[in-house]
Structure 1
């Protein structure tokens, strides 16, 4: 098997609001769109995103009334401080401020208008060496 693209499909109440968020603030481009549907892409290694309006018949019957929840869409990048500053300047609410974890993860989060949590991560040298389980 050779995977050529990875896509996450998210069910939301307001497709246009999430589309605007991802195209305005995260440089996604519309690849295809129809009533209650949009496919978003980027030219780099980011995952493609499909947004479907809740209740759309293309969804399995048991999932039509669900919406994206309990999910974090995470992007690994470099220059995380600059990215947080850019998003703040654009008026995006930072829902989890930049923080650094002892295992070497720097991260912050924003939330789109439909409640999709987007996390930005930059890996650094851990402050505390990882426990390898050795004696």
Structure 2
């Protein structure tokens, strides 16, 4: 697997407070905001995400940390990882917010979300506010 970006996503019920804190005190720039998920950018290639728990999303760690890895071809990466003996938690799926991805856990129980970008559904297009990792 050869990620093109990697970024942490923290699952929390305090998305709005996190947005305000990092923008005010760390100079973050909001690059994606759909209400329950935000992406903040500090510099090109340096980003942090926060999301509210999403029980209907099996690839979502309900508490704590998810590490996101963007790859060029998510299906190829999925098959490569299967060939090494890994058993992902979910198969690759298209998501309306603009990616196709799957999830697996590392030996520490940290959720890893592996994805490739896709065109977002119309209802998510306005959530993209710009930025290198948006």
TM-score, normalising length: structure 1: 0.44
Larger gyration radius, structure 1 or structure 2: 1
Structure number with the bigger relative contact order (C-alpha 8 A, sep ≥ 6) is 2
TM-score, normalising length: structure 2: 0.44
